[in-house]
Structure 1
Amino acid sequence: MRNWIEKNPKIINCRTDDSFLLRFLRFKKFSVPMAQEALERYILLRQTIQQAFHNLDMKIPKMEYLIDNGYLFAVPGRDKLGRRWIVARPGVFDPYKFLNEDMCRVHGIVYETLMEDEENQVRGFVHYADGAGVSFPYLTLFTPKEAVRIVKNGERTLPMRHKEVHAVNVPASLKYVLDWGMTLVSDKIKKRVKIYTSIEEAAKTVDVSMLPKEYGGTVPMSEMIASFKEELKASRQQLLDNDLMEVRLELFSEQAKEGAVSALKKGNTTCSPYKNDILSGSFRKLEVD
Structure 2
Amino acid sequence: MTSSTSNLRPLSAGLQQIAVDELNEVPQRVARDIAALRDWLDKQPHLCSCIDEQFLLAFLRGTKFSLEKAKQKIDRFYTLQKAIPEVFNEHRLADDPQVLEIIRAGVILRIPLDEEDTGPAVTIIRACSYDLDKFKFQDIIRVGSMFGEIMMFEDDNATVSGYMEIMDMTGVTAANLFALQPQMLSKFSAYADEAMPTRQKGIHFLNVPGAFETGFNSLRSFFPEKIKNRVSVSSDPEAIFERIPRKYLPEEYGGTKGSIKDILEQMEAKILSYREYFQETQNYGCNEKLREDSNPLFQRPEESHFGADGSFRMLNID
Determine the structure 2 residue equivalent to 1:200: 238
Q: 2:263 aligns with which of 202, 224, 235?
A: 224
Q: 1:169 aligned to 2:207? A: yes
Determine the structure 1 residue equivalent to 2:134: 97
Q: 1:25 aligned to 2:60? A: yes
Determine the structure 1 residue equivalent to 2:44: 8
Determine the structure 2 residue equivalent to 1:281: none
For 2:138 and 2:224, the matched residues in 1 are separated by: 25
Measured at CA, do residues 229 and 154 of structure 1 come closer, stay the same or move farther in structure 2, by a change above 3 Å?
A: same
**Deviation of residue 186 (structure 1)?**
5.8
For 1:53 and 1:174, the matched residues in 2 are separated by: 31
Determine the structure 1 residue equivalent to 2:276: 237
For 2:124 and 2:299, the matched residues in 1 are separated by: 38
Cα deviation, 1:26-82, whole Å, max 9, x if unaligned, reads: 111112222111111110122333441244223322222221121002123337325
Determine the structure 2 residue equivalent to 1:260: 306
SS in 2 for 1:56: coil
User: Structure 1 unaligned runs (5+)?
Assistant: 262-267, 273-289
Q: 1:111 aligned to 2:157? A: no
For 1:16 and 1:28, the matched residues in 2 are separated by: 17
SS in 1 for 2:196: coil
CA RMSD of aligned residues (A): 3.0
Maintained 8 Å contact 2:186/2:224: no
Measured at CA, do residues 50 and 15 of structure 1 come closer, stay the same or move farther in structure 2, by a change above 3 Å?
A: same
Maintained 8 Å contact 1:47/1:53: yes
Maintained 8 Å contact 1:112/1:239: no
**Deviation of residue 217 (structure 1)?**
0.6
The structure whose RCO (Cα within 8 Å, separation 6+) is larger is: 1
Measured at CA, do residues 186 and 97 of structure 1 come closer, stay the same or move farther in structure 2, by a change above 3 Å?
A: closer
Determine the structure 2 residue equivalent to 1:287: none
Opposite residue 7 of structure 1, the aligned amino acid is: K
For 1:77 and 1:233, the matched residues in 2 are separated by: 21
For 2:265 and 2:178, the matched residues in 1 are separated by: 31
SS in 2 for 1:86: strand
Opposite residue 234 of structure 2, the aligned amino acid is: Y
For 1:187 and 1:102, the matched residues in 2 are separated by: 25
SS in 2 for 1:95: coil
Opposite residue 306 of structure 2, the aligned amino acid is: A
The TM-score normalised by the length of structure 1 is 0.78
User: Structure 2 unaligned runs (5+)?
Assistant: 1-36
SS in 2 for 1:128: strand
Q: How many residues align?
A: 265
Determine the structure 2 residue equivalent to 1:285: none
Determine the structure 1 residue equivalent to 2:107: 71
